[in-house]
Amino acid sequence: MTDISLPLTILARAKINLYLHVAAPDAKNYHPLQSLVMFADVGDEVALRPKNVPQEARLTCDGPFADGVPTDDSNLILKALRRFEMVTGINIDRHDIHLTKNLPVASGLGGGSADAGAVLHLLRAQYAPDLTDAALEAIAATTGADGAMCLWAESALAEGYGERLTKLSLPAVPAVLINPGIACSTPDVYGQYDRLGQFDPIEASAPFRSIINIDHLIDALSETRNDLEAPAVHLHPQIGDFLTGLSGEPETRLARLSGSGATCFALCDTLADAKRLAERLIEKYPQSWVRACTLS
């Protein structure tokens, strides 16, 4: 029986890389990195639905960006579900999964990893409440380097390949997210980064462990960068135009690309500023995806 007092729907929050320092590829051809991540109060919606028809699809998907999402075994939700079944020995036989895809796909917002993390929380609550956080994190990690960070969806410093997390206490910060509608392939952007061949040290000098307010956060971020910005702009020059435009807006305290793009973000002082900026951007770029939000 489904316990209806437990959550059946959860928000899979968008991940923002406030900075992203990327080293040269190592012997395994992976890129060590250091990144500050925070999570928006916007995201996909992942739901467990009581199974009525035995042969119904395991995963269904709707929402504004459903077209770009695979619903076969390559979907990170199903990858996480299978791994959960394998690790716990429990057959997920009472529910199917429904995804409402609100986040643009391949956009630097970590939507797939966030969806996987969200379904793991729901499955644990319904099927294996005694499963430890460490075990849940280990399952999430099998979905990709961002699996653990998107499972917890909390402000953190990410190191290693993104899987080594130090949780940070940071002030909530209002922001605007804008995606110009360009799907940015993460492998392509990393490939271009390697071809450009400019590798700077990845250790941030700023003290992100003791940030007390937005001014302090923005000062510290001004000493950091997103190393994938130059290769992403090289592949899609339109991203550069968006970043230049965002930087010039009066409400913008800092504008940058998230992850490998193409979503850009502007940090603002207040949510009212973020909403005002978002309204103007929607008018100026009606084809773009724009959201005012709070990062935490």
Taking CB under 6 A as the binding criterion, the range among 69-77, 123-131, 191-199, 237-245 that sits at the site for ligand ATP is: 69-77
Q: How far apart are CA 164 and CA 157, in angstroms?
A: 8
Of 15, 79, 101, 115, catalytic? 15
Taking CB under 6 A as the binding criterion, the range among 31-39, 72-80, 195-203, 273-281 that sits at the site for ligand ATP is: 72-80
Going by C-alpha positions, the residue among 281, 296, 75, 38 that lies closest to residue 179 is: 281
The CA-based diameter of the chain, rounded to the nearest angstrom, is 56
User: Do the Cβ atoms of 192 and 174 come closer than 8 Å?
Assistant: no
Q: Among 186, 192, 294, 296, which residue interacts with ligand ATP (rule: CB under 6 A)?
A: 186
Does residue 229 interact with ligand ATP by CB under 6 A?
A: no
Does residue 260 interact with ligand ATP by CB under 6 A?
A: yes
User: Do the Cβ atoms of 281 and 292 come closer than 8 Å?
Assistant: no
Partners of 19 in the β-ladder: 36
Does residue 105 interact with ligand ATP by CB under 6 A?
A: yes
Residue 172, preceding bond cis, omega within 30 degrees?
no
Does residue 106 interact with ligand ATP by CB under 6 A?
A: yes
The CA distances from residue 177 to 21, 237, 259, in Å, are: 20, 18, 13
Phi, psi of 63, rounded to the nearest 5 degrees: 105, 170
Q: Among 256, 259, 264, 290, which residue interacts with ligand ATP (rule: CB under 6 A)?
A: 259
Taking CB atoms, the residue at the shortest distance from ligand ATP is 112
Does residue 109 interact with ligand ATP by CB under 6 A?
A: yes
Whether residue 146 lies in the annotated active site: yes
Residue 80 Cβ vs ligand ATP, minimum distance, rounded to whole Å: 9
Q: How far apart are CA 102 and CA 64, in angstroms?
A: 6
Whether residue 51 lies in the annotated active site: no
Which of the residues are catalytic? 15, 146
Positions that interact with ligand ATP (CB under 6 A): 69-70, 74-77, 105-113, 115, 146, 186, 259-260
